Amino acid sequence: MLGEGKIEGWKDGTLETATRIKGLYPYLLDDATGTWSQVDYIRDVAVMGSGGATGTIGSLHHNEWLSVNPTKKNTIGPELGIGYAMAINGTKAPTMLLKSCIGNRALGWDLLPPGTKRWEYTYSNGDTYEFAGYGESPGKWLKGTTPTPGSWYAGLQYEGDVNRSKLVLEDLATYFPNADSYEVAGFFWWQGDKDMRDPGYYTQYEFNLVNLIKQLRVEYNAPNAKFVTASLGQTVMGSTGGDGQILDAMLAVDGKSGKYPEFAGNVAAVYTHPLSKGASSSSHYGGNSETYMNIGEAMGAAMNELLNGDSVTIV
């Protein structure tokens, strides 16, 4: 979700080349002026901070109407494609896309949702480790030993990201002019790079993702909020590695899988490999803006389908 798709620079992979040379994403350009278009009822807000709550929103990366905006940050994230996909396919309601995230965080550790209990995993060498439950530290320790807590604990980044987003919502009119109320209608989740590196994390990913979906709905008093998750772009269907197990976990929670009946019609997973233009999540997809746009469009279309109950396409 961090967003490292390059905007400027006349070479393959930049948004300038994709739109002005290849003719992709024509809705991003204003036909009359040739400049970047703007959706004046969808607000793009992005905050970022490392660790837990500090009483501030952290750094403010975006606070403007949805548009390509190289003066704020010369890269794009999936929210650009998400927002335009939702606008193109029918939403005319005043909407805020509020992103609160930072890179190099694991769902099984930094982002572990409240209420998650510790679990065990036995590695191929026979060693069994206990993994920290919410609020515990360190991240893991050899079973039977006494752990030595550190300054970071399970769920610390979750707490910080939630707090920063809530501070924005508490000061709503600063970030969405003239707004005085809101409803949390949905969540977007594109993550997993750090989890795929440790089997103790990726074998637990499905369990943790289910907990996350349920906890976010409680956290924001939004029991009916939709949830869209997207797989890592480099992961092909059928992969047996850590990234493949994360893909399998996401496909399992999709409401259409039938595994979690309570998620039917309100949780969707996007398989992103066909949409990625190469490289991997570890390298931020090489900064290829088409990867971020394609996956953002698909996530936005999936959210529209959940909200409206109809399949949608991007043109």
* DSSP character at residue 112: P
pLDDT value at residue 70: 80
pLDDT value at residue 312: 46
The structure's pTM equals: 0.95
DSSP string, 197-264: G-HHHHTTHHHHHHHHHHHHHHHTT-TT-EEEEE--TTPPTT--SHHHHHHHHHHHHSTTTSSSGGGT
Distance in angstroms (rounded) separating the CA atoms of residues 252 and 246: 10
pLDDT value at residue 89: 83
* DSSP character at residue 296: H
Distance in angstroms (rounded) separating the CA atoms of residues 89 and 78: 17
The CATH number of 5-116+154-308, from 3.40.50.1110, 3.20.20.80, 3.10.20.30, 3.40.50.300, is 3.40.50.1110
Q: How many CB atoms lie within 10 A of CB 297?
A: 25
pLDDT value at residue 309: 77
Q: How many CB atoms lie within 10 A of CB 196?
A: 25
pLDDT value at residue 315: 43
The per-residue b/e assignment along 140-167, b for 16 or more CB within 10 angstroms, e otherwise, is bbeeeeeeeeeebbbbbbbbbbbbbbbb
Residue ranges matching CATH 3.40.50.1110 in the chain: 5-116+154-308
pLDDT < 70 positions in the chain: 310-315
Residue 60 pairs in a beta bridge with 47
pLDDT value at residue 310: 55
Distance in angstroms (rounded) separating the CA atoms of residues 172 and 306: 26
